């Protein structure tokens, strides 16, 4: 399905984006035809936890090849730092539960009080869980 999505993106793209999208599509197509493409991509992502932003045909292949992926420019955060991939445990991406800052403030403000949500009165325990 990804190939169809990229092909549709090429057909509907503006002239300024056409070259980049064609190169990305051709690179992904060539990458999928190389032997062990999934294994190469997995090994490259395991060895290099930085998320890469390939823009051309050659960079598409380099980004999925162990050892070469580090030559492709990384995605950057709004602070200019490299974006890192989430940690994989046994090949599975895991994440820790993060508390929403708004929920934390509401829990502090409410304490044992009640909150009216769309006409339904809720206690702190009902809202947080």
Q: pLDDT tens, 65-122?
A: 898 989 999 998 888 889 988 877 666 767 666 777 777 777 777 666 666 666 666 6
Look up the pTM and report it. 0.54
DSSP secondary structure of 60-107: HHHHTSTTTGGGSPBPB-TTSPBPBPPPEETTEE-------HHHHHHH
């Amino acid at each position: 399905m990804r190939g169809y999505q990229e092909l549709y993106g090429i057909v509907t793209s503006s002239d300024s984006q056409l070259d980049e999208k064609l190169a990305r599509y051709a690179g992904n197509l060539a990458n999928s035809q190389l032997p062990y493409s999934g294994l190469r991509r997995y090994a490259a992502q395991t060895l290099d936890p930085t998320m890469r932003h390939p823009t051309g045909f050659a960079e598409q292949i380099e980004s999925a090849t162990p050892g070469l992926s580090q030559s492709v420019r990384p995605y950057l955060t709004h602070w200019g730092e490299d974006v890192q991939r989430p940690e994989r445990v046994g090949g599975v991406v895991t994440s820790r539960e993060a508390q929403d800052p708004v929920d934390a403030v509401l829990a502090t403000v409410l304490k044992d009080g009640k909150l009216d949500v769309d006409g339904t009165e809720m206690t702190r325990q009902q809202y947080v869980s």
